[in-house]
């Protein structure tokens, strides 16, 4: 039996994006250094578990123009492993490709960085016997249209073959990050594929071969809310492979819905927010940064639509949470409450409000059904046209900065638009 850790997409030196308002300096600093601390947690795990080796599947750094502190932090982790007799194997990805600036640091003896020129193989030895063979190839530049996976092939004498690659699996032939298919991965006859690039961890194939995306060990923005970590992999003497996901994120992003529609006081709403975020911190077992959306229909809506009410509630909620360690911070607060009304009944009505509610439901279904790697608005021409107007708006474009909206952001826009219409029409009826 032997064990190894499969990680990648560390994005050391990553700037955190999407933070709104003024964030306390201590929290800003914690977020800035969280990727390094997640990497240090992975190294400690490898040392504590006495793994046989560690794999890094690309994008160890946020940029090809690497900083010296980031390079030193990465090297120091690899050196701790090397000093303990644990070899590590690294490939580059589209973010940290070889075409950028790489500050020179002395590389540890047992750390191997694969070339971008061709697929290489390196043996893993234990007590003089080869237990596994690692195959890998990195990125020479950011855009790699070549199918690198098709160049991998297990050698007949390899006891256990691992493919280490930063790649898009299942993308069209015009993909720019070494696109490949599951058939390409199977044809290489690897026993395990250690993949990087996709930030959401997951097992694409449980056997023949085992194909795993490790995901990133630290969420970098409010959209990366799931637990983030790495895979601890056990290979039994009979060849059975067991990948176990282990969270290592230092700070976890949370998107929380807090139902407050029935409440009749501002302070009660603030306390409900603080309670929900505190519960999220306890459940996560680590610091959390939360984006909170207030939901529900009832008297709270009349409170929250008053000018300045949401800001006041947010300030009190933050003060209630305080500066504990691990910390809990409400990054933003959105009011999605509504006047009290029967939505199901109104959506079935043959009037203007009913048609708006049904249209919103149709849009939500379309966006929810869009594949993860597609623009969530592209499946509906009307929605795509509406969203496109954001880029032509001087107010909207400065926030988008040419990036594609995520699914959760589009769904949030639909919710907000519906809430505005409902608020106007129901209030007018009253």
Per-residue confidence (pLDDT) for residue 72, from 0 to 100: 95
Report CA-CA distances (Å) from 400 to 393, 404, 405.
Answer: 10, 8, 8
Neighbour count for residue 31 (Cβ, 10 Å): 22
Residue 48 has pLDDT above 60, yes or no: yes
CA distances in angstroms from 337 to 122, 165, 192, 416, listed in the order given = 58, 46, 48, 10
Q: What is the pLDDT of residue 22?
A: 74
C-beta of residue 138 within 8 angstroms of C-beta of residue 115: yes
380 pLDDT band (50/70/90 cuts)? low
Whether the predicted pLDDT of 396 surpasses 70:
no
Strands 210-213 vs 328-335: parallel, antiparallel or unpaired: unpaired
Exposure string of 118-135, with b = 16+ CB inside 10 Å and e = fewer, is ebbbbebeeeeeebbbbb
Q: Which residues pair with 300 in a beta bridge?
A: none
pLDDT tens digits along 324-378? 889 999 999 999 998 887 888 888 988 888 899 999 999 888 888 876 545 666 6
Least confidently predicted of 149-158, 219-228, 303-312: 219-228
Contact by Cβ (8 Å): 170, 156: no
pLDDT score at 400? 60
Question: How much is the pLDDT for 345?
Answer: 86
Task: Report whether 219 contacts 225 (CB < 8 A).
Answer: yes
**b/e per residue 282-291 (b: at least 16 CB within 10 A):** eebebbbbbb
| Torsion sign, CA atoms 158, 164, 170, 174 | negative
Please give the average per-residue pLDDT across 189-211, as a whole number.
Answer: 96
Summarize the confidence of residues 393-411 as an average pLDDT: 66
Encode pLDDT of 54-107 as tens digits.
Answer: 999 999 998 888 889 899 999 999 999 999 999 999 999 999 998 988 888 999
The answer to whether residue 149 scores a pLDDT higher than 70 is: yes
Q: Predicted confidence band at 390 (pLDDT cuts at 50, 70, 90)?
A: low
Distance from C-alpha of 402 to C-alpha of 392, rounded to nearest angstrom: 11
Calculate mean pLDDT across residues 16-30: 74
pLDDT of residue 172: 53
What whole-number distance in Å separates Cα of residue 277 and Cα of residue 317?
9
Q: If you search the block for the tokens 């949030």, which residue do you land on?
A: 412
Contacts of 11 (CB under 8 A, 6+ apart): 35, 59, 60, 61, 62, 95, 216, 218, 220
Band of the pLDDT at 429, cuts 50, 70, 90? low
Helical (H) or strand (E) element with 272: helix 266-284
Work out the average pLDDT over 391-399: 63
Cα–chain-centroid distance for residue 165? 19
What residue ranges do the domains of the chain occupy? 2-247, 250-340, 350-430
Average pLDDT, the chain: 89
- Residue 137 pLDDT: 98
94 sits in the region (left: phi over 0; alpha: psi -120 to 50; else beta) called alpha
Contact 90, 122 (CB under 8 A): no
- Given a cut of 70, is residue 213 above it in pLDDT? yes
Report the pLDDT value the prediction gives residue 423, as an integer from 0 to 100: 74
Q: Which of 24-38, 82-96, 165-179, 313-327 has the lowest mean pLDDT?
A: 165-179
128: Cβ–Cβ under 8 A, 6 or more apart, which residues? none
Least Cα distance to 63 among 34, 103, 25 occurs for: 103
**Using an 8 Å Cβ cutoff, are 121 and 132 in contact?**
no
Size (the chain), residues: 430
User: What is the structure's pLDDT at 421?
Assistant: 83
Q: Which residues contact 177 (CB under 8 A, 6 or more apart)?
A: 93, 94, 143, 144, 166, 167, 168, 171, 197
pLDDT at 325: 86
CA angle 49, 55, 60 (to 5 degrees): 115
Please state, in angstroms and rounded to a whole number, the distance separating the CA atoms of residues 292 and 311.
13
* Measured distance CA(160)–CA(124) in Å, rounded: 10
The CATH number of the structural domain formed by 2-247 is: 3.60.21.10
Q: Which helix (H) or strand (E) segment is 266 a member of?
A: helix 266-284
pLDDT level of residue 430 (50, 70, 90 thresholds)? low
């Amino acid at each position: 039996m032997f064990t190894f850790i499969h990680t990648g997409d560390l994005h050391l030196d990553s700037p955190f994006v999407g933070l709104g308002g003024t964030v306390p300096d201590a929290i800003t600093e914690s977020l800035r250094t969280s990727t390094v601390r997640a990497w240090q947690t992975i190294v400690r795990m490898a040392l504590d578990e006495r793994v046989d080796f560690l794999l890094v599947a690309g994008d160890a750094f946020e940029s090809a123009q690497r900083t010296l502190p980031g390079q030193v932090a990465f090297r120091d982790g690899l050196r701790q492993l090397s000093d303990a007799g644990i070899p590590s194997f690294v490939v580059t990805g589209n973010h940290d490709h070889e075409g950028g600036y790489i500050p020179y640091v002395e590389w540890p003896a047992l750390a191997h960085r694969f070339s971008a020129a061709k697929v290489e193989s390196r043996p893993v030895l234990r007590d003089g016997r080869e237990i596994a063979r690692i195959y890998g190839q990195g990125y020479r530049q950011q855009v790699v249209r070549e199918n690198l996976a098709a160049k991998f092939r297990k050698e007949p004498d390899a006891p256990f073959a691992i493919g280490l690659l930063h790649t898009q699996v299942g993308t069209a032939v015009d993909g720019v990050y070494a696109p490949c298919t599951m058939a390409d991965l199977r044809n290489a006859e690897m026993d395990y594929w250690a993949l990087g690039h996709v930030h959401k961890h997951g097992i694409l194939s449980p056997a023949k071969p085992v194909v795993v995306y490790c995901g990133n060990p630290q969420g970098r923005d409010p959209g990366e809310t799931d637990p983030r970590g790495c895979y601890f992999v056990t290979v039994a003497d009979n060849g059975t492979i067991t990948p176990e996901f282990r969270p290592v994120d230092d700070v976890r992003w949370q998107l929380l819905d807090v139902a407050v529609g029935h409440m009749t006081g501002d302070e009660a709403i603030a306390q409900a927010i603080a309670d929900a975020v505190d519960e999220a911190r306890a459940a996560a077992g680590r610091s959390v940064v939360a984006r909170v959306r207030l939901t529900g229909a009832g008297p709270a809506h009349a409170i929250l639509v008053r000018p300045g009410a949401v800001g006041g509630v947010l300030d009190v909620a933050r003060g209630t949470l305080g500066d504990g360690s691990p910390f809990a911070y409400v990054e933003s607060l959105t009011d999605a409450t509504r006047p009290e009304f029967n939505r199901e009944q109104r959506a079935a009505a043959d009037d203007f409000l009913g048609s708006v509610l049904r249209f919103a439901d149709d849009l939500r279904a379309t966006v929810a059904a869009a594949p993860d790697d597609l623009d969530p608005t592209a499946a509906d021409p009307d929605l795509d046209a509406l969203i496109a107007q954001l880029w032509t708006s001087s107010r909207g474009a400065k926030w988008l900065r040419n990036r594609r909206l995520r699914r959760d952001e589009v769904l949030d826009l639909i919710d907000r638009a519906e809430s505005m219409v409902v608020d106007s029409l129901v209030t007018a009826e009253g």
